Amino acid sequence: MGISHVAPHVMVGPVRGHSSSGLLLSTSPFTLTSRIHGRNKKKGHPVHLRACSKRMVQNCPKVCGIISSYRAADSVKCQCQRVEGFGEITTEDGNGKWGREAVSKASQILGDVNAQTVIGLDKGSTSNDEKSVHAGAPKHAPKKRRGNSVEDEAWRLLRESVVYYCGSPVGTIAANDQSDGNLLNYDQVFIRDFIPSGIAFLLKGEYDIVRNFILHTLQLQSWEKTMDCHSPGQGLMPASFKVRTVPLDGDDSATEEVLDPDFGEAAIGRVAPVDSGLWWIILLRAYGKCSGDLSVQERIDVQTGIKMILKLCLADGFDMFPTLLVTDGSCMIDRRMGIHGHPLEIQALFYSALLCAREMLAPEDGSADLIRALNNRLIALSFHIREYYWIDMRKLNEIYRYKTEEYSYDAVNKFNIYPDQIPPWLVEWMPDKGGYFIGNLQPAHMDFRFFSLGNLWSVISSLATTHQSHAILDLFEGKWSDLVADMPLKICHPALEGQEWRIITGSDPKNTPWSYHNGGSWPTLLWQLTVACIKMNRPEIAARAIKVAERRIAEDKWPEYYDTKQARFIGKQARLYQTWSIAGFLVAKLLLDKPDAARSLWNEEDVEIINAWNVMVDTKPRKRGRKVLKKTYII
Ligand code: GLC
């Protein structure tokens, strides 16, 4: 399918022609040296802006949005820019048809579990103390918890994790564990890790950091990054970035700050961060919804960034499925864990990002092909996941009785799954009430493991039907001691053990059974559970899980993950003061307190998709040469 060529980020400013906020100002000596180089097709040469050093800060113009050349330094230099036109913004009030029942129900529950109110700084205010944390890792060790408010401590720690670039907050570091001598890349701002931080700030009415994050990471979007002479696709967002202070070219007396991205070319295992761009789109939409400021998503460079991500994801390949084909470790689980192929987490984020992007893309002639491709993909993707990834007792029994080796267009067992693949643990584990999406589906292979993030995000994005969404939450309730136990939430269940662990993980000592990605428990997942529960009007489930976390998470110093089947131990190699554990907890608390706000984070089910889906279900089985759809959906 043809997708129109996407122009690189050559200009900034709202698409609809406002000039006050966001257009490049060319009044200073540090402005554009070249304006539209970037039209160059595949290997775009982005627009250059002279960097301004720390020495120059005083003179820095208020320039909004800059692109730096990756040719020279593979990094974005500090332009000390400020983002224009960002005055008071009112938070969008929750309104409309969203279930008020959910809100009042959550408020009732809060009476029990959320007695302490969240106390933070005033909107937009940042103390001098906080501002002293600059350029990369914060300098202060986490202070001792004061008083008895876990949230107070969480807010303080979250603020201490903020990373500044030329004086502006641009993200949060992954972990602020001063006791750890081997930080690896935990002193970087990870795109995925920042999502709960960003949402916590949005819910608090502090929008600048999120806006800065969105615009700066946009400038890092892949142009010319290479690994061993190979470049990742244009549009790829980095896994993480770091603010570095480097000597200014040709001047020993001055330094400048640069943003140095990692696209996986330095990451352990050289994994490609497929989820980064998807999360970026999701956060961009949440920013607009929470702040009411749509000027960011309307900017031409932001629109171009969205299109580049979409173009990369929607590109034709050899694959037969509408799901995204990715390598192992391309998402939250960023190590080898047997999730190559079509892992659920990526599909749920992909679906959500497509919906969010469609909401934000400015209607213009040049985008018609892209929007058509996007719509087709949404329909095909939802059909594929709902039909083929779903299992419950009924479906499991169906698989158990599958005939194999069916060569025909209307095969029941389309992927030639051998019933012997049903693992013994699942026969015991599958509850009568409830169900879930399996982790992965390939020809002759179903990965029956339960992955929390993929399932929760399927609920949040409405990739799951209403019935399936409730069944997933039923499963959480029914399997509480496996999925929540002593600390929410299991990243996946069950763990790989023995020979399977050896073969699939490559004997990874960090991913031993019931540890880290292999059946470990990750407190950050609490916020996703909370959004899903509020969406389905079942906030009491989240409230119960938050209560479990609250018992020990602060005492344990906010670990990255927990080990053992019951999540009894702090993870063997877990970082302490892990930012997304802190932020995930805060978001969960804030949302239970104001459930209406969760609406900015989920996607409503799309009527077009429901209609198309019904047509597809009605016209099954699909015969060769038969016209299936009345509408012109290409699948
Ligand atoms: C681990 C996690 C990854 C996270 C990173 C930084 O590698 O697997 O999801 O982004 O740590 O916290």
pLDDT profile of the chain (635 residues), mean per 10? 39 37 29 26 30 34 30 47 35 34 41 32 34 42 56 97 97 90 84 98 98 96 66 85 89 89 72 92 98 97 96 90 94 94 98 97 88 95 96 96 86 88 96 97 94 98 97 98 98 98 95 98 98 98 98 97 98 96 98 97 88 71 47 43
Residue type, 262: D
Ligand 1 contact via 192 beta carbon (within 6 Å): yes
Separation of CA 354 and ligand 1 centre (Å): 24
**Long-range CB contacts (within 8 A, 24+) of 609-617:** 609/378, 609/379, 609/382, 612/379, 612/383, 613/379, 613/382, 613/383, 613/386, 616/379, 616/383
391: enclosing H helix or E strand: strand 390-392
* Cα 377 to Cα 242: distance, rounded to the nearest angstrom: 34
Nearest-atom index, ligand 1, CA of 579? 12
Q: Which residues pair with 445 in a beta bridge?
A: 442
Model's pTM, two decimal places? 0.80
Which pLDDT does position 26 carry in this prediction?
29
Residue nearest to atom 12 of ligand 1 (CA): 174
Q: Is 2 exposed, middle or buried (0-12, 13-18, 19+ CB in 10 A)?
A: exposed
CA atoms within 13 A on the CB side of 152: 9
Distance of CA 289 to the CA centre of its chain: 17
Query: What is the chain's Cα-based Rg?
Result: 24
Nearest-atom index, ligand 1, CA of 193? 10
Residue nearest to atom 9 of ligand 1 (CA): 332
**Ligand 1, residues 186, 193, 581: which to mutate, most atoms within 8 A of Cβ?**
193
Ligand 1 contact via 193 beta carbon (within 6 Å): yes
Residue nearest to atom 7 of ligand 1 (CA): 334
Nearest-atom index, ligand 1, CA of 575? 12
Which pLDDT does position 499 carry in this prediction?
97
Q: Is 619 exposed, middle or buried (0-12, 13-18, 19+ CB in 10 A)?
A: middle
* Cα 527 to Cα 493: distance, rounded to the nearest angstrom: 19
Nearest-atom index, ligand 1, CA of 268? 7
Ligand 1 contact via 190 beta carbon (within 6 Å): yes
* Cα 147 to Cα 116: distance, rounded to the nearest angstrom: 12
With residues binned 3-state (H G I as helix, E B as strand, rest as coil), the percentages for the chain, rounded to 5, are 40, 10, 45
